[in-house]
Amino acid sequence: MAKLSRYFETFREPDGTEKMRVFVRGHAVLRLAATNKGTSFPEDERIALGLDGLLPPRLTNLEAQVARVSAAYATQPTPLSKYQFLRNLQERNELLFYAVLERHLAEMMPIIYTPTVGEAVQGFSQHYQSPRGISLSTRNIERAASAFDNSFYDDVRMIVATDSSAILGIGDQGYGGLAIAIGKLALYTAGGGVSPYRSLPVGLDVGTDRVDLREHSSYLGVTHARLKGEPYLAFVDRFVEAVRNRYPRAILQWEDLSKDTAFTVLERYRKVLPSFNDDIQGTGAVALAGVLSACKLRGERLSDQRIVVYGAGAGGAGVAWAMRDGLMADGLTRDEALSRLFVLDSKGLLLEGRAMEDYKSTLAKPLAAIAGWGRDGTAPDLLQTIEKSGATILLGLSGQPGSFTEAHVRAMTKNTERPVIFPLSNPTSACEASPEELLRWSDHRAIVATGSPYAPVRAPSGELVEIGQGNNAFIFPGLGFGAILSNATEVTDAMVMAASRALADYTAKLHLRHGLVYPPVSELREVSIAVTCAVIAQAYADGVATSTRIDRSAIEPYVRAHFWRPRYLPFVAG
């Protein structure tokens, strides 16, 4: 038996039939998204649950409901209206929402996640209709424990929390970032098998530095400047303590924290409760997986490459660290790995002796390493770095649209026959260059992947070149689900690297022969299963798994057996 909520629980009959026991009656059953089956309530359940006369007489099954909703969705005129349509469905009948999403995942993923979710975040207060998750602010953080006691769910295993300070290339969005946490958890369920009844989005409203938000009449967040420093950490301390007390088995994903706090928060809490930062670790893992695939496609080793990372925020640093660890896994020492890695921020190549954040200093080049570059005393810019380093791989995490130019690409083609160029910034409006531009400037020699979805590009031969999407959704659902199923006490760096290798191995097995460095999004569930299995195995190897050990050959069947899928259970009155 699983007590999921004060309103319902699941259980199995002696013959193994799974059922749901519901503790509410009448309109309340229909108003709770987790218990509403709409026109799929059979007559005996309508009578037992006090629904008789409240629903249309005709009984329809889940497939008929999916067809009806999908047809209505298709009539929505804009991406934002499609997003609103799906969110309204989620608040009305959550299981039907996931059934629709499961059947149209590739089509709907850009709606519920990047890029459309960015627009939803910006208009969150104006479009607000229904509460979801937990909202903690400076007005109630002292009551965090009681706020969590009010939560709808009693057995939460996956939490996505954001302070909305660095959203998807659009920056500080105040309270609106809660939409990101909601969207991420939808992918944990639809793509990663995590039960929606065991997941919880959390908004950490510590204020906003956007005066236009604070002064807007419809803004729903607190109207003061952001907390910083010790007051900010004291706020997060109270949140973490409340999570540990209410949901001691939960995995926590930090989402869209600014670089000023992301690294501090990750290190401060990752051993307090099992947690990870998708912007740092997920971005690094998915980028490394694509680079490993590209190296296999070229018949080369990662350790032979010289890698330029353009952008040194949370995502850029995460990618740089992943590349360093990948180079070390390929046989290099730490110093050798760093010698092949070049990281730039808005001021140019990171060099020792320059004032910079602590996390950047670990990636800064010794001045002796560029002694022969003939510079004029300033930090080398991107073009100089590409030319002087002999870069074979260029990764964009800058959030600066148009920052990769034809000159940059032509310089890359002089260093290698098939340069690897990944403009990974999200959303599309922040992408460093379009795939069409990168292919044209490289005479269609470049191996290109992006962070957001792009249409195929037609080559001069007439062939359509598919553009791989280095989407973090290939990593975080499996990483989280693996930590849940292993009951991990920590999400280790090795578990993140195992997720990255699993994605690369999946691509190599099924798609590399077709020239793809990432799988299609339509295969997200199978990718997540592969990643989950690898993460569980690594959790055991690292000694952080506390669940009963599963034989390696039995891990995949175990994962598939626990992978949540939308289906209506028989209901009984409780």
The one catalytic residue in 184, 259, 360, 365 is 184
What is the number of other CB atoms lying within 10 angstroms of the CB of residue 352?
12
Q: Which residue has the tokens 């969705």?
A: 73
518 is catalytic: no
| 38, 96 contact by CB (below 8 A) | yes
Contact 313, 399 (CB under 8 A): yes
Say how far apart CA 88 and CA 85 lie, in whole Å.
Answer: 5
Nearest to 280 by CA among 266, 294, 296: 266
The Cα 249–Cα 365 span in angstroms is: 41
Q: How many angstroms separate the Cα of 411 from the Cα of each of 193, 397, 402, 425, 433?
A: 44, 19, 16, 21, 15
Catalytic residue list contains 113:
yes
Q: Which residues pair with 10 in a beta bridge?
A: 2, 20
Whole-number Cα distances in Å, 309 to 47, 88, 384: 63, 40, 13
From the candidates 73, 83, 113, 359, give the one annotated as an active-site residue. Answer: 113
CA distance 412 to 73: 44
Which of 458, 505, 574, 571 minimizes the C-alpha distance to 44? 571
Q: Which residues are 135's β-sheet partners?
A: 203
Backbone angles phi, psi at 254, to 5 degrees: -80, 135
Catalytic residues: 113, 184
